[in-house]
Chain A
Amino acid sequence: MRHTLLLMLLTTALFVSGAFAGTVRLQSLKGKITLDGKLDEKIWQRKADVEHFYLFGPAPDGFKPVGTKAIFYIDHHFIYAGVRCEEPFMQKLKLTGKKLDDAVWKDDGIELFFIPTPAKSSYVQIVFNANGVVFDLFQKEPGVTQSDLSWNSNAICKTYKGKNFWSLEAAIPLENLPVEAPTGDWKFHMARNRAWKGEQYSFVKGISSFHDVSKFFTLSGVKLPHLKLTIPQYDLGEGKYGINRARVVLKNWSKNKVAALISTQGQKHTAYIAPLNSRVVHLDWEQPFDKPLISRELVISEGGKVLRRLALNKKLPEIIPDEKRTVFFIENNKAIQLPIHLNLAKLSQRDARLLWEIKDLKGSKMVSGVTTPNDGQALLRIFWSFMTPGNYKLRLTLVCKGKAVAKVQRDFRLVNSPFQGI
């Protein structure tokens, strides 16, 4: 048993202090930075926070690693990054990204990953190419949900190109990071793309991908005592036609009552949050039925200062999408339950009715009805007892608050079920 315990202790210690665990300590900014990419301020002259980078992938023959050094600071508003990338072949830099959210991860540049919500693993990825072009995304659930490319860090990046190196200075606003608490360690990863040479580097040895959050380092030193209000949860709503309901959870970390202003395209709502308390705030907004593009921004401010800008940008499909189901079974006088999916926000469903009508190909009406949508669909119950196999037309009209907002006609075929009469 003694041996067992000793070995257990040893192996645990190995794991904790192993190559995959590590901490980067964030220092508070004392002084000023002129964002010009030059790293000429005194604050950049200290020992780097991150300087050991490992090649991601196998090393080729004659591989010559290039140096990368990074220093980080934080103040009340920004995280600052100063990065120097050694590059003996400056004329070969690959720089194709020109504007925000271009695919600059394919360029020579650096990538920063932050998990400001360690309890959740949601992370942001911010990529700068050597021209200072930014790409950024928010990943709510790693490997599960689609990346939110509409998220913007509003990071500012300036770069400088020397004879055999390039450098950058970046300021990443805290207001757009999904920070959840004024204190507590974050998680962090940094990578460098040396695209022209086909080389990638990470400061985490053996990471399986740059997004392998299980291998991210701890980022300590995050203290935001001025942070009164955080937004631990938010949801801009279903993102459908009609009335959508945004939901924002606000957490007040201070000992005083805080007033938060939540605004979206002309609407404003002030929410008061009790000291050291959380509050859920709902805000309804409407997506017009004739506008298939959602471009919605929700701004949360406190004391005149913007805390977070949340955006939802997407193209909507048709209100009554074509599900391409054209064949239905007749079976022993049973009703066919025909679900018609609707891209209609839940709050608008109570005001909506789906009018439906079935005609034969000669235009004779066979049956019609009205159905109230529920849970994103209208369930048509059609009794076929009086109908025969053949081709028919189904006309659907969605009426919302007494106004027809969508009309479609679908062909469909009625056939005897394989189990008719059984």
Chain B
Amino acid sequence: MKTTSLSLCLAALAALTINAAPLLYDFGAPGTPVRKNFTPLDAQSKMWSDAKKLFTGKNKIVLQSGLNKHSGKSVPPIYYNELTCDHIGSKGGAVLTFSVPDGSYNVWILTGRAGGNRSQVWDIKVYSGPRSASMTYAGPAEIHALELKAAARNGKLRLYISTRSKWIINAIAIVPEKEYAKVKKEILDPEMAELATLPPEIMKKWKKIPFKSDIPAPRWSEKQKKQGFAIFSRNWTEPVWPEQFPRKSEIDHPVRAFTTIGESEPLTFSIYPLKNFNKVTLQVKPFVNEKGNVIGTEQITPRYVKYSWVRPNYNMYGFYYRAPEVLMPWSDRTLKAQEPLRIWLAIDTTPHTVPGIYRSQALLDLDGQKATVPLTLRVLPFRLLKNPNVTFAQYYHHPYRNAAQAPDDFSRQWWERRAEYEHAHMRDSGHEGITGSVWFTRNRSGKLVLSFDAMQKQIDLMRKYGMGHFPIPCGLGTGSLYAYYMKGAIMGSHITRVKMPPKKFFEDFTAIIQMIENEARRRNWPELLYYPVDEPASQKNSVDFMVAILKAIKKVPGVRTYVTADPATPAYAPMKPYVDVWCCQPFSIPKAQAESDMKKRPGLEYWSYPNHNSGENDHTLSIGTRMTYGFGLWQSGFKVLIPWIYSSCGYDQWNNLDSTSADFGVRTAPDGRPIPTPLWEAYREGIDDGKYLFTLETYIKRAVERGFKKEAAAAQADLELIKKNIFIQPKYRDKNLWAADTFDAYRWLLAENIMKLAELLK
């Protein structure tokens, strides 16, 4: 293929040869590669009808990496194969008719990996009779398979395709219902497995890192053997790996937690299957307390932990392993023998939740076998208080940038709605700020161009979600202005190539900062922290440039600067007088020094980006992340945690191996809602640990003020006990930390003291 005549012949043949064999079509342009087992189908086929301006897209199959001239590093291409290298699509509806014998069929539709515009949001809905399947996804690389049941009548099976923006189809399989399981297993699932990783030619050069477990196989009970599964419960901070047995002590361990009014708390348990299961369903009953008060199912979010192929380091190629990574919204699951499935319930209490002991049940159905998992949630009679002196924020790729470049209304609104969901998610998880930027450049005629309105829109959204008071680390167009004054030169990665620009560059920079500051005050923006360069190198030319540009910024009265560098590095000493906010890896300077420095110089602050906790390299350091965000931050003296980054996705957000950097952080559902990770939940729980600490500190102060000195002293002694028992470290990962349940023991000690003092203070 692919010529129109041949396609006509095949279509005619398909119409004449009525049989129940599976039909596998590879959509695309004539003359492009066709996948083995598949028959080509192009836009001229008579199988199309009522189609509005079908288009055909194609991409080259390239396996060799290119070169990023800026970084000098290799950049893999988006990998296409014969199925994904071309597609047929439209901005409107279309009907596809297949000539097949009457009967029931399963339809499998491959859609995605279109290449092109990163801001395009693809949307497809396929109907057959009353049934439909749909998918919405963004960008050039994501790929999805839709499945749909369909019926053929009078020798025809029709698929009605619609869209709210643009749809594309790469391939379709029409399979008689009875044969579908076999075809799926032998053809379709292997296709999807390849698309979810790398082309076989590349993959065979990668090495799988074997998983090593120190947990021996349990002795399964007769009941477990008979039903073919066991239920176990592990502290949520400890990952459940795909090739790991449960510990004996975890099997049938109670699933329970305590929480406060207006808090979110995870309850997790896992299924260890001793055999394959085709369908696992889950139903979680409402929680009911001893007085009949209810925490309804609308306050319960069921998820499961998705295993992903990941890399050991975000920019490392050639090695991979499988790790628990994303908290997917619950849907019916299939289970593979010996691969545990972790179920993760987020239970939200509201300000109106009545304290008490709440009980519920998770009802599981595994291919008809029922199992009931009792759940217990104790809601404590107080609300947590937030320490106003510490803030949690995120580096952030703003969806508004995509919205501004979106090719159609649906795409634009999808990005805007996604931004709203993400802001709400950050707010609900205790975050109060994000990064921003005012980009500027001088065009060829020397005219200054600034992006005030784009920033205004972002600030409006921040304010809507309670982030309006956070001082915004504000990226600037330093590189662009440097190029203007230095005849197109680049500063290089981490300004390693920077040369000292002429005096006029710095004068202009000061004038521009003054202009931004005037506009910021006119528009009543939050404070902007001027952030001229990210992670400057410590070599002399870089530091000299930094000193000069920071001086230029500080010439504007009242403004503060923001530098991402380690203040403990001696080479940065010349910058110190001009840096107001240092943001560095945690926690590079001791608490006493941080507090002393900040006390001596008003305006000076120490912030930290704990990137080792964000999933940049290891997606499973939940325990260290909880420590960093809670007890660790408490004993650090740092004021803000602002990791890189809320969401980092290279090509396909569901394929960790396919781009320059591995994916990490929050992912996005078809409707634009965020899909969190265990590490994100560890942020949230660590923040809650900090709230328990601050709440008790506040109650102690109040108790002292009210004369309950003895009781306050007892509570203070417990705080000191915890403080004494923290393994203070710069970076908390997964070693040399408290055991998982020790966190909860100390949190409970705090809660007990809070309740005692609250009773006194009534």
Contact = CB atoms under 8 A, between A and B. Distances in A.
A57 B73 CA distance: 7
Given A56-B72, A57-B71, A327 B312 contact: no
A143 B319 contact: yes
Contacts, number: 160
A11 B70 CA distance: 26
A419 B258 CA distance: 9
A327 B748 contact: yes
Interface string A1-37: 1011001100110110011100000000000000000
Contacts of A212: 316-318
Contact of A323 (B71, B316, B376, B738): B738
B492 A327 contact: no
A236 B254 CA distance: 41
A413 B207 contact: no
Interface residues of A, number: 53
B315 interface: yes
Nearest to B2: A3
A415 B752 contact: yes
Nearest to B70: A58
Interface in B71-103: 71-75, 82
B8 to A, nearest CB: 18
A58 B497 contact: yes
A214 B205 contact: yes
Given A3-B32, A57-B71, A325-B738, A12 B493 contact: no
Nearest to A376: B214
Interface string B737-749: 0110010011011
B497 A60 contact: yes
B518 interface: no
Interface of B: 31-36, 61-67, 69-75, 82, 201-202, 205-207, 209, 214, 249, 254, 256, 258, 311-313, 315-319, 357, 376, 378, 486, 489-490, 492-493, 496-497, 499, 537, 539, 541, 660, 718, 721, 725-727, 738-739, 742, 745-746, 748-749, 751-752
Contacts of B748: 327, 329, 415, 417-418
B534 to A, nearest CB: 15
B378 A208 contact: no
A413 B717 CA distance: 12
Contacts of B66: 206
B65 A20 contact: yes
Nearest to A200: B72
16 contacts: A4-B35, A7-B33, A7-B61, A11-B64, A12-B201, A58-B490, A121-B318, A144-B209, A198-B541, A206-B66, A325-B742, A327-B748, A418-B748, A418-B751, A419-B258, A422-B376
A3 B31 contact: yes
Contact of A57 (B61, B316, B492): B492
A48 to B, nearest CB: 22
Nearest to A3: B33
A381 B110 CA distance: 57
A205 B69 CA distance: 11
Leading 10 A-B pairs by shortest Cβ distance? A214-B318, A206-B74, A143-B312, A60-B497, A324-B725, A4-B33, A327-B745, A418-B258, A57-B72, A15-B63
Find the residue from B357, B492, B660, B745 having the highest chain A CB count within 10 A: B745
A208 B74 contact: yes
A283 B612 CA distance: 39
A313 interface: no
Given A205-B67, A206-B74, A325-B738, A419 B33 contact: no
Contact of A58 (B74, B493, B721): B493
A305 B73 CA distance: 44
A207 B749 contact: no
A57 B496 contact: yes
A265 interface: no
Interface string A166-207: 000000000000000000000000000000001000000111
A209 B539 contact: no
Contacts of A55: 72
Nearest to B206: A214
Given A121-B207, A198-B539, A58 B745 contact: no
Find the residue from B258, B489, B497 having the highest chain A CB count within 10 A: B497
A3 B74 CA distance: 29
Contacts of B317: 208, 212, 214-215
A17 to B, nearest CB: 10
A337 interface: yes
A92 B36 CA distance: 61
B497 A328 contact: no
Interface string A317-350: 0000001111111000000010100000000000
Given A3-B33, A12-B63, A329-B748, A209 B376 contact: no
Interface of A: 1, 3-4, 7-8, 11-12, 14-15, 18-20, 54-61, 121, 141-144, 198, 205-209, 212-215, 323-329, 337, 339, 375, 411, 413, 415-419, 422
B657 to A, nearest CB: 12
A19 B378 CA distance: 61
Find the residue from B64, B71, B258, B746 having the highest chain A CB count within 10 A: B64
Contacts of A4: 33-36, 82
B63 A326 contact: no
Nearest to A421: B357
Contacts of B726: 324
A326 B721 contact: yes
Given A208-B73, A212-B317, A11 B725 contact: no
Contact of A61 (B202, B497, B660): B497
A20 B74 contact: yes
Contacts of B721: 326-327, 411, 413
A1 B33 CA distance: 7
B319 A142 contact: yes
Contacts of B725: 324-326
A384 to B, nearest CB: 14
Contact of B738 (A19, A142, A324, A375): A324
A14 to B, nearest CB: 5
B316 A142 contact: yes
Contact of B318 (A15, A57, A213, A416): A213
A11 B34 contact: no
Contacts of B752: 415-416
A422 B357 CA distance: 8
B746 A327 contact: yes
Contacts of B65: 20, 206
B319 A207 contact: no
B749 A413 contact: yes
Contacts of B318: 121, 142, 212-214
Nearest to B216: A375
A329 B726 CA distance: 19
A416 B751 CA distance: 12
A323 B725 CA distance: 8
Nearest to B73: A208
A32 B319 CA distance: 41
A58 B497 CA distance: 8
Contacts of B357: 422
B399 to A, nearest CB: 28
Nearest to A422: B357
Contacts of B660: 208
Contacts of B63: 11-12, 14-15
Contact of A141 (B82, B209, B492): B209
A44 to B, nearest CB: 30
A1 B2 CA distance: 10
